[in-house]
Each structure stands twice: as C-alpha cells, then as structure tokens.
Amino acid sequence: MPTIAPEVTVTAAADGTGTLLIDGTVRKLQDKDLQAVVGQALDTIVTEVAKPAGQPVMITANDPSGSYRLLVDVDGTVTPIADPEPEPEPEPEPAAEPAPVDAAPAEPVAVARATPAERPEAAPAAATPASPIDVAPAAAPQPQSAPVAAAPTPADVDTQEGTAEPQTRREARLTARDFAQSKPADKAAPAQEGWQGTINRLGAGMFKVAPGPQELARRARRNSVQRGIAGHKTVVVIGEKGGVSKTTSTYLLSAVLGRVRGGTILAWDNNEYNGSLGGRAYEAHHDHTARDLLGHIDTFTEQAHQADLVNFVRPQRDNKFDVLASQNVLGNVRVIEEDEFRKLYKALTRFYRLIIVDTGNNSEASTWRAAVESADQLVLTTSVKEDASQKIASLADKLDDNGFGDKLANAVTLVHHTSTIAYPELEQRIVEHMGQRTRALVTLPFDKALDGGGTIEWDVLSDESREAWLAATAAVIDGLR
C-alpha cells in the first residue's frame, strides 16, 4: 500500500520566529535569526518525516522573500522544485483580409504633449475628465475628392529638413566600444539568504538558486551606499523640535556608512547648546568636545596631524566612524557660533570624506544656518505626532523662504515611529506632504532598543530596523554627486 506523503509547510520570519505545519499540526519555532530557524525546521523534517517514511518529502517553504516548493531527502539534501513552464497560448487564427476600400488609408493619430503655445483653444466639454496627457488633435480627414499631394522630391526634403550628410565607412564601422556595450548584464550572484541561501549552502555547490526580491533589494541598497562620490560631502540632519530623532538619525546613518561603505566618517554634534550625541555614543579615554578642539584647531593643518584627532573625537568601534561631541558633561559651556563652526568645518574636511552634522532645534541660531549652508544633502526628521509633523512642514517652508529651496528639493525626509502606537492617517498625511517637498522619504519602525535613550548598539537593533536604516542611508547617498 503506497505511503501517503504528509503535508509539510514551514514559515520563517526575519526576526527568528516561525512555524512548522505537519499534517495540520502546528509547531512554533524560535531561534536567533531566519537562517537558524530554517536549519531547525529542516532538521525536524528529516528526523520526523523523511527518515521514518524512507523517502524524500515535498514541503512548502515561506520566508519574507517568497514561497517555494522544495524536496527534502532522508540525508538532509534539499532540492528546489522548479515551477512548470506555462503552456504556450495557441496562435490566433489569421483574420480575414478586409475588402478593398477606394479611399486612402488614414494616417495613424500621433499622441504628443503640446506646449501651451501649441495648444488649440478647445470648446468646453461637460462631464469630461481632464487627461494628464495633452493630445494633439488629429487633422480632419480630407474629402475623397480632394487632390492627393505629390510625393516630395529630394529637393523638397533638402529644403524642408536640411541635407543629411552620408556616413563615411569609418563613421559607420563598429568599434570596440560597441562590442563592450553588447555584453549582457551580469547575472545576480547565487542567494545567500533565506531558503534560497540555505539550499545553496547545503548543496555544497550543486545548486545555484537565484536570490529572492528581498535579497536583491538589499544588495541594491548596499550598492547605493558603496557608490563612488567625488570629493568631500556633508550631510546635515535638521528638525525644529526635540524628540524627532535627529541624534538617532545622525548616529545610525553614520553607522551604516561606516559598516557598509567605510572610509573616514565623522558624526558631529552641532547642537546650539545641549546636544546628546556624545551621550548616545561609545565613550573615549577623554571627554573633550568641539569647543576643546576649537582651542587647538590651528595646529591641524596637514594630513599628518589626523592621528592627533583621537584626543578630541570618539571612535565608535565596529561602526567605524568618529563622534565629535557638542559640550562637556555639565553642558555649561557657551555655544559655538557661526564663524567658529566654519573654522572647525574647514579643518575637519581635510581629514574626513563624509561629515554627518547633528543640529539643534533653533533654526535662528547662526551655527544652525552655517551648517545648512555647508550641506551637500539635508535630512529632515520627524516623528508620527501631530505637533512634530506641523514643525517639519513649517521647516520646509522656512528653507524655501530663506533661499534653500534647491537643497530642500534634494533632501531626504525620515519619518520615525517613536512609540508602538500607530497613527496611520497622520502618517499618510506626512508621507503625502513631505514626499512632494523632498526627493525621498523613508519611514523608520519603532525599535525598543532605541527607546531607552542610552548608548546606541547596532547589534541589538531589530532586523527590520537595520534594513530600514540601510534604505535610509542609500536614499541619502543617492542624492550626493
């Protein structure tokens, strides 16, 4: 009597949770990450299903990148099952030839966007919706008795359109550039994540399963972050309200840049008085700040002096960037003014390819304006709260009114969820408004690891957070040229 194959479905999530369904019985899965959950599920399927049955078992595997059919053998070998090729549709029967018509065939109607000067006055049409594409009206058909215009002669063409010079043999020949451009696009490297990545690893080179859409999107974001940029660039993070995650944004944008891109990166707290970047960063062997550095900045004139910056900045370990804090522990030192910011900025650009500047809440402060003027890219931050959203909309207007309209148009908006409570209608309003005011907008999920206000630890962030911050950083780098 043939053995009835059990129905097996595995679902694995990026946060290390999952379920294993065997013939209607559900089992919860939990491990450190998606890869570990996949391995746990496969071990169970081999031990409890494939080996007792003495034959491979077909399973359905679901992860964030999609759904797959796999064959799990008794020795743990996993083979992807390709979807059947769709049957080709039958070719349509050839249409009967139409009866000949004496009239000349009509010319196809050209669709074009007319300029205001070219647009003819049209009679109003009641209840006709406006089209987003302007269609140039076709010429009225000529009556059948109208004389047919003679074909233009070469002389007419030369007079109307200009004489086209014939190509020489040298100009017409193929070149090495043509050959290089004929190369097909490189195929994506085999998957390293999810079920596809697990299959590739277990196959020991036998399989080369392509990556799913989520992994391809992650690769594209990493490529954006790693893209070449000419010269020094400055990113300035702004907002006119406390609690909208300016400091968090500054730190985590810098962390992604350091981890994914590398190079010399500085996160600089330019708060007009009591900045918190130093308190969210790893400590150093000193508590020096931007004001301490200002007192010695005239000694930093050559590249060889970069090593001495370690006495003023705070290295951020595996995040691979430095932090320049804004004030001492007591926060009782006067602010750095506009001219002092520029003096520090001029020196620091000798030693850092990328500077991410955190700012305070006062857009009237001279040091705030000096930072904005230095920006190659602005990042506007807000939380999903009514008062914060009003502030960011007002700040966008202020940037326009003060001559920073071009920088606003190229800016990135970061929308932070700072609590577990969702306000979808408000979030939609923010997205619609700021999505039109700035070049890109990225929403960041609530993360309990950031809620306490202490040192920011990249490794304890959720997978969802890390993915969102990669997307945010990619959006920022995409605006730099």
393: pLDDT strictly greater than 70: yes
> In the chain, which residues fall in CATH 3.40.50.300?
228-478
Single-letter amino acid code for the residue at 334: R
Predicted local distance difference test score (pLDDT) of residue 80: 78
Quickly state the pLDDT bin for 206 (edges 50, 70, 90): low
Report, as an integer, the average pLDDT of 300-316.
92
Give the integer Cα–Cα distance in Å for 294 and 274.
17
259: pLDDT strictly greater than 50: yes
Predicted local distance difference test score (pLDDT) of residue 124: 40
What's the pLDDT tens digit per position in 443-459? 999 999 999 999 999 99
Contact 30, 19 (CB under 8 A): no
Predicted local distance difference test score (pLDDT) of residue 4: 63
Predicted local distance difference test score (pLDDT) of residue 103: 41
Give the integer Cα–Cα distance in Å for 240 and 388.
8
Quickly state the pLDDT bin for 297 (edges 50, 70, 90): very high
Q: Which helix (H) or strand (E) holds 216?
A: helix 213-225
What's the pLDDT tens digit per position in 324-340? 998 755 655 667 899 99
36: pLDDT strictly greater than 50: yes
Alpha helix locations (H) across 275-411?
277-280, 290-294, 338-348, 366-374, 386-401, 405-409
Strand order in the sheet with 440-444: 314-315, 322-324, 265-270, 354-359, 233-238, 377-383, 412-416, 440-444
Predicted local distance difference test score (pLDDT) of residue 109: 33
What's the pLDDT tens digit per position in 265-290? 999 999 877 789 999 999 999 989 99
Give the integer Cα–Cα distance in Å for 248 and 453.
9
Predicted local distance difference test score (pLDDT) of residue 163: 54
Provide the 3-class DSSP secondary structure of residue 127.
Answer: coil
Alpha helix locations (H) across 28-134?
34-45, 51-53
Most confident range, picked from 53-62, 163-172, 418-427: 418-427
Return the ∠ at Cα 264 (arms to 263 and 265), rounded to 5°: 110
Query: pLDDT: is 308 or 92 the higher one?
Result: 308
Give the integer Cα–Cα distance in Å for 39 and 34.
9
Most confident range, picked from 27-41, 55-69, 420-434: 420-434
Eight-state DSSP code of residue 145: T
442: pLDDT strictly greater than 50: yes
How large a percentage of the chain has pLDDT more than 70? 77
Contact 340, 294 (CB under 8 A): yes
Q: Which helix (H) or strand (E) holds 25?
A: strand 25-30
Please state, rounded to an integer, the average pLDDT across all residues of the chain: 82
Sequence-distant (≥ 6) Cβ neighbours of residue 470 within 8 angstroms: 218, 221, 222, 225, 256, 260
Q: How far are the Cα atoms of 43, 96, 253, 324 from residue 28, in angstroms, in the given order?
A: 14, 63, 35, 46
Q: Does domain 228-478 match CATH 3.40.50.300? A: yes
Predicted local distance difference test score (pLDDT) of residue 329: 56
Quickly state the pLDDT bin for 418 (edges 50, 70, 90): very high
Which residue is listed with tokens 């759904």? Answer: 67
Give the integer Cα–Cα distance in Å for 372 and 239.
11
Query: pLDDT: is 88 or 223 the higher one?
Result: 223
Quickly state the pLDDT bin for 203 (edges 50, 70, 90): low
How large a percentage of the chain has pLDDT more than 90? 50
Single-letter amino acid code for the residue at 268: W
Report, as an integer, the average pLDDT of 84-97.
57
Query: pLDDT: is 214 or 428 the higher one?
Result: 428
Predicted local distance difference test score (pLDDT) of residue 431: 97
Report, as an integer, the average pLDDT of 430-445.
98
Predicted local distance difference test score (pLDDT) of residue 3: 56
Most confident range, picked from 298-307, 333-342, 385-394: 385-394
Quickly state the pLDDT bin for 191 (edges 50, 70, 90): confident
**444-452 contact pairs (CB < 8 A, 24+):** 444/245, 444/414, 444/415, 444/416, 444/417, 444/468, 444/469, 444/472, 445/417, 446/417, 446/418, 446/419, 446/420, 450/248, 451/418
CA-based Rg of the chain, rounded to a whole angstrom? 31
Report, as an integer, the average pLDDT of 97-114.
41
Give the integer Cα–Cα distance in Å for 427 and 440.
15
Predicted local distance difference test score (pLDDT) of residue 155: 47
Report, as an integer, the average pLDDT of 371-384.
98
Predicted local distance difference test score (pLDDT) of residue 168: 66
157: pLDDT strictly greater than 50: no
Quickly state the pLDDT bin for 54 (edges 50, 70, 90): confident
96: pLDDT strictly greater than 70: no
